[in-house]
Structure 1
Amino acid sequence: MSVDFKKLSIVIPAYNEGPTIHLILDRIKTVELPNGIEKELIIVNDCSKDNTEESILKYKEENPELNIQYYKHEVNKGKGAALHTGIEKATGEYLIIQDADLEYDPQEYHLVLKPVLTGDADVVYGSRFMGGNPHRILFFWHSIGNKMLTFLSNMLTNLNLTDMETCYKLFRTDMVQGLKLKEKRFGFEPEVTAKIARIPKIRIYEVGISYYGRTFEEGKKINWKDGFRAIYCIVKYNIFSK
């Protein structure tokens, strides 16, 4: 049975993304969602030290036809905390997470939405490690680390994801708003996966997406310390914390 809904909330955490935030907003602007679904853009500025705020406010003023909701943290709290704020403010029936850089292509929202629109899914992950879409070739150990984290997460959640750490996660909004999320940095990914997996009769799907990764010189922020934190969170939220 197909599912019709009216609004998709696009939650965008932003920290020091002044040079690219307008570019990703341009890409989102051109996306035409199926069935006339409205876009709600929720941008959370995590106390950036560059011109991120100026870029967002200028874009919002120049594009009044877009439904842009802007929020700002007065102190830097981390990506997870920015996502908490965005999830709390979302009013669409479904929401998707979108990074403020250019690593993920908003034109692929339709790929992530498809299992929802066909009535099959409550949650959809966009995997960088499946399908035949373009992938920039970058860090060997980073990809190995992602796969190891996904493997460990799968062992404890009993899911068979290929990319737990992906940015593109689509949730039924009421479902993810009902979770008590705590992780303020990159531990958000394993925590939300562990807690979503425990929801009775949850229907989780995964689809292949493209990936245009960037280097650390280009602004990539995650590092090896975040990897160790992710391992801690996988164990914590699957074994010691419900």
Structure 2
Amino acid sequence: MNSFSADDEVSTDALREVVLRLADELQSQDVEGIPSERVELLERVIGRDACRRLGIYALPPDFILSVVIPVYNEANTLERVIARVRETHLPMEIICVDDGSKDGTREVLERLAAEQNIKAVFHERNQGKGAALRTGFIEATGDIVVVQDADMEYDPQDLRLLLQPILDGGADVVYGSRFSGPDRAVSPLWHLAANKLITNLFNIFHGHRFTDVETCYKLFRRELIQEVAPKLREKRFGIELEMTARLLKNRNVRFHERPIRYERRSYAEGKKIGWRDGLWALWCIVRY
């Protein structure tokens, strides 16, 4: 592999070689294990901004990411989602909250919790995604908390890029937007229109400029979300709007958005949100 000094003029081909070899290396070892000296070298070679765009940075000592996974009737996808989360090689704790599943999810989760280092929490009856998230937030012990749905729609490989604004000290909360950046989500027209309507109305009522307030991928400093969690009332999908509104009441909280990848699941595949949730979302915008 070619080596460069900080003052060398790096050609496009040489830079491409560095990045491709780096990508191979990242896939073959724990990203967590990249020493800070190597990160500094890469920053000199391809630039700090390029490193950040690739999700390359040194993690703080003893850093832990709390991954909260709300689960309801996801026996077919839960194990795959957890495997994909672990493939990020981030230091983490995984908290799975089974919200009264009826399809064998509980048995799958009990097995995974016994085999792996997973914190499993069980609701005896179905209460809704909001209730599951509230439980997971309270159980979290890491530095940053992220929500990961169990339905394979969101790609955990985006997590390093989403973490970076918080770790760099530029944000307290980061939302992954499905509707910004080059890889915008492809959704049915009615679904896209509903999301845009809800987000735009939320922005009008709360004086912000989100592009995707309903996104699953929300990352928070743990102390912020645990301050809000005991106050959360919404038990279904209205939780997305309520917790955002409550966080916005703290004028010192810094929000940031980053584009993410998204692969929409159909209702035949188990998607649960429906038009009634959309109508309730409108009420939540006014209520909170």
Whether these two folds match at TM > 0.5 is yes
2:177–2:260 CA contact under 8 A, matched in 1: yes
TM-score normalised to the size of structure 1? 0.91
Query: What is the aligned partner in structure 1 of residue 64 from structure 2?
Result: 7
Unmatched segments (≥5 aa) in structure 2:
1-57
Question: Percent identical across equivalent pairs?
Answer: 47
Offset at residue 57 of structure 1 (A): 1.9
- Answering whether residue 102 of structure 2 is matched by residue 49 of structure 1, we say yes
1:3–1:116 CA contact under 8 A, matched in 2: no
2:178–2:184 CA contact under 8 A, matched in 1: no
SS at match of 2:256: strand
Query: What is the aligned partner in structure 1 of residue 153 from structure 2?
Result: 103
Structure 2 matches for 1:1-242, cutoff 5 A? 4=60, 6-33=63-90, 38-62=91-115, 64=116, 67-133=117-183, 135=185, 137-179=186-228, 180-237=231-288
Query: What is the aligned partner in structure 2 of residue 240 from structure 1?
Result: none
1:197-240 per-residue CA deviation (whole Å, 9 max, x = no partner) reads: 11121100000000011000011000000001111001000xxx
> How far apart in 2 are the matches of 1:13 and 1:168?
12
> How far apart in 1 are the matches of 2:114 and 2:128?
27
1:148-182 per-residue CA deviation (whole Å, 9 max, x = no partner) reads: 10001111111100000000000111111111111
2:94–2:118 CA contact under 8 A, matched in 1: yes
SS at match of 1:178: helix
SS at match of 2:94: strand
Which of these two proteins has the greater Rg computed from alpha carbons? 2
Unmatched segments (≥5 aa) in structure 1:
238-242
> How far apart in 2 are the matches of 1:220 and 1:234?
23
> How far apart in 2 are the matches of 1:155 and 1:176?
23
Worse-matched range after superposition: 73-82 or 53-62: 53-62
TM-score normalised to the size of structure 2? 0.77
1:12-51 per-residue CA deviation (whole Å, 9 max, x = no partner) reads: 0000000100110110111123xxxx20100000000011
1:3–1:119 CA contact under 8 A, matched in 2: no
SS at match of 2:152: coil
Q: Which gives a bigger RCO, structure 1 or 2 (Cα 8 Å, sep 6+)?
A: 1
1:3–1:118 CA contact under 8 A, matched in 2: no
> How far apart in 2 are the matches of 1:229 and 1:48?
23
> How far apart in 2 are the matches of 1:183 and 1:143?
23
> How far apart in 2 are the matches of 1:169 and 1:189?
9
> How far apart in 2 are the matches of 1:47 and 1:204?
33
Offset at residue 131 of structure 1 (A): 1.0
> How far apart in 1 are the matches of 2:198 and 2:184?
23
